[in-house]
Amino acid sequence: MQKTAEFFFDVGSPAAYLAWTQMPTLCTQANATLVYRPMLLGGVFQATGNASPMMVPAKGNYMAVDLGRFAQRYGVPFRINPHFPINTLQLMRAVVGMQLRHPQRFDAFLATVYTAMWDKGLNLNDPAVTQAMLVEADFDPAIVFALVNDADIKAALKANTEEAAKRGAFGAPTVFVGDAMFFGQDRLDFVREALA
C-alpha cells in the first residue's frame, strides 16, 4: 500500500515554504502520496500556546541565517519577507478554496503565493498588492476573493487547523506519515525514512 505524507502548512511560515520546495520530489522519489493540509498557523499557535520564533530577536536573527543556508542547500530562491509577519487568514482561505473548488489550479496558486511571499518579498497584507499578484499570475481576483468569504471554505480551514493541533502540531510545517509526526523543514530526512 502506498504511503502518504500529510503536509500541514501555512504560507506565512518561511520554514513551510522551504519544505514545500522539497516535498513533491521527496514524495515522488519515495513513491508516496503528498497530501496538502492547509492550516492557519496563528490558530495552531493559539491552541498550543506557541509563538513564532521570529518574535524572539536572537532566535529570529539566527533563524533567518539558518533558513538562508537551507535555501542555498536546496538551490531555491529565498529571502525573509520585509513585511513579516503577514496576516495569512485570507490567503489560507484562498489556498483551501483553490484546493476544494479549483483543484486543477491549486499547485499553480500555491506556487504564486509562496513565490510572492518568500522570493519577491511582497506585502501581501496589502489587498492591492495581492490583487496585482493574482492578475499577473492569471488568476481572477473576484473568483479568489469570493472563495475567501465562502462559509464552507472558512469551515474547512478551521477544521484542518483544529485537527493539526489535536494531532500534536504546534507549528509549521508539520508532516505526518501515519501517526509519526515530523516538525520543521530540517526534519525531511526523517520523513524520507518514514516513507521508505
Cβ burial of 69 (10 Å; 0-12, 13-18, 19+) is: exposed
For residue 80, give every residue at least 6 positions away whose Cβ sits within 8 Å of its Cβ, in sequence order, or none. 14, 64, 67, 121
Nearest CA to 195 among 28, 15, 20?
28
End-to-end C-alpha distance for the chain, whole angstroms: 12
The pLDDT, as a whole number, for residue 56 is: 85
Q: What are phi and psi of 36, to 5 degrees?
A: -80, 130
* Regions of the chain short of the pLDDT cut 70: none
The pLDDT, as a whole number, for residue 91 is: 98
DSSP 76: -
Write down the residue that cell numbers 511582497 correspond to. Answer: 122
Q: How far apart are CA 24 and CA 41, in angstroms?
A: 21
Cell of 161: 487547523
Q: What is the pLDDT of residues 106-150, one digit of tens each?
A: 999 999 999 999 999 999 999 999 999 999 999 999 999 999 999
Cross-sheet strand order for the sheet of 174-177: 33-38, 4-9, 174-177, 180-183
For residue 106, give every residue at least 6 positions away whose Cβ sits within 8 Å of its Cβ, in sequence order, or none. 36, 95, 98, 99
The pLDDT, as a whole number, for residue 52 is: 84
Nearest CA to 46 among 172, 170, 183?
170
The pLDDT, as a whole number, for residue 51 is: 87
Instruction: Output the CA torsion 114→116→117→120 (10° steps).
Output: 130
